Amino acid sequence: MVEPNNSSKLTIPNPYLTLQMNTYIEHKNLIPYLLELGWMIAKDTWTDCPQKVYDKLAKLSVDDLELVCMEYHSDITSDLVTNLT
């Protein structure tokens, strides 16, 4: 039996291994809003949301966070409708 040569091993880069989860989630109540806005969460502790954006979201009230999410989704919907017509 021939042992495989490690130097000839095919390596396929995994894009998920290079994700930057640099922002610590201090306010756990923000997790649903971060997810709603398309950011990823790791172990309910880290997010790929940039720190500046996270800080701005953390200062908003719950009502304002819901408005931000609604506006985000209405922009996506309007873009989809525009692209379909």
Spans of all domains in the chain: 19-84
* Whole-angstrom distance, CA of residue 29 vs CA of residue 66: 12
pTM: 0.69
Cα 73 to Cα 56: distance, rounded to the nearest angstrom: 19
Which pLDDT score is estimated for 77? 62
Q: Cα separation of 24 and 41, whole Å?
A: 10
For residue 33, what pLDDT is reported? 95
Give the model's pLDDT for residue 74.
82
pLDDT less than 70: residues of the chain: 1-19, 76-85
Residue 13: Cβ-neighbour burial (10 angstroms; 0-12, 13-18, 19+): exposed
- Dump pLDDT digits (tens) for 52-66: 999 999 999 999 999
- pLDDT at residue number 73: 79
